[in-house]
Amino acid sequence: MIKKLAMCIGQYKKASILTPLYVLFEVITEVAIPFLMADLIDKGINAGEMSVIMKLGIALIISSLISLLFGILAGHYAAVASSGFAKNLRQKLYYAVQNFSFANIDQFSTASLVTRMTTDVTNIQNAYQMIIRVAFRAPFMLIFSLIMTFSISPKLSLVFLAIIPFLGTGLYLVISKAHPIFERVFKTYDKLNKVVQENLRGIRVVKSFVREDHEKGKFHSVSKKIFNDFSTAEKILAYNGPMMQFSVYTAILLISWFGAKMIVSDTLTTGQLVSMISYTGQILSSLMMLSMVFVMITISRASAERVIEVLDEESDLKNGENPIYDVKNGEIQFKHVNFS
């Protein structure tokens, strides 16, 4: 499935490669900011060195601007790559449907094919954009921030090793429960499109036989089913927020508690504690971004499977034993012919 979808990247490979590179540079400059802040507090403010404050302050401003620039470039190329990928995928789907026989179309239904070329492709596009940008940013941020925290204080960094498995387990449970519901939702979307399509095509018949209430009832029934399924799925996904907040605030409290004791015992400086808290936000925000990516992949996975079904379908229309590909010139010359 992934191989077939990757073939649709086509001429947008350059943008797809540049996006993670710019993300990497953005993360490197962003991770350097708390480290510079620690030196600014310890070597500049606490020491009363104005020259050090000026130098580190300028370095912080430059790092922030560079990080902003790389972030803008990453966002631009991610948008270009994902929209181009969706364009190619939609075109491939359209060409595949053009070769279908009536039996192939009836197997999927017209409403289902419309949903797959619109809603499903859009879901895949959003997932692809998050994969080439956020899915690269989060691991880079997580790894570099952990390296920096361990270089500052290995003891305090053990807090993250206790929280990360808790988050990973919770995320796995959320995804495993939500994915089957999204699969069911997209099948219900097909039914909704079918109801709307039948109503619009037969609108004269519906009005002639006064069947408006019946059609409204059909539409309401399908819409309610979609509402119930989406509500259930979103309630499951909503556990991400409290779980992440609990982890973030627990980590900050533990680091602040143990860090304050280490400052009193002169094994940690004030600047290092501030940078540790900053890295805590970066590490747990990267985990939050990863959870968002997994949620988007969970939603788009069902869409991707539906799209691949269409691409894998073989048309019932076949050429004969000796097909004729060259069409002869059927031009006829008229001489001495008058039309009146």
What is the per-residue DSSP string for 193-216? Answer: HHHHHHHHHTHHHHHHTT-HHHHH
pLDDT digits (tens, 9 = 90+) for 103-113: 888 787 777 78
Q: Which amino acid, residue 308?
A: I
Give exposure, 287-322, as e/b (b: 16+ Cβ within 10 Å). bbbbbbbbbbbbbbbbbbebbeebbebeeeeeeeee
Helix (H) / strand (E) element for 322: namely none
Whether pLDDT at 198 is above 90 = no
What's the pLDDT score for residue 72? 93
Domains identified in the chain and CATH numbers: 9-312 (1.20.1560.10)
Counting residues of the chain whose pLDDT is more than 90, the rounded percentage is 10
What's the pLDDT score for residue 62? 92
| Number of Cβ atoms within 10 Å of the Cβ of 134 | 19
Report the mean per-residue pLDDT for the chain: 83
Contact 318, 99 (CB under 8 A): no
Any residues with CB less than 8 A from the CB of 122 and at least 6 apart, and which? 86
pLDDT digits (tens, 9 = 90+) for 230-246: 888 888 877 877 887 78
Contact 129, 78 (CB under 8 A): yes
Whether pLDDT at 222 is above 80 = yes
pLDDT digits (tens, 9 = 90+) for 157-176: 888 778 778 877 887 787 77
Cα–Cα distance between 274 and 259 in angstroms, integer?
A: 9
Any residues with CB less than 8 A from the CB of 66 and at least 6 apart, and which? 25, 29
Mean pLDDT of 48-69: 88
| Number of Cβ atoms within 10 Å of the Cβ of 97 | 19
What's the pLDDT score for residue 163? 79
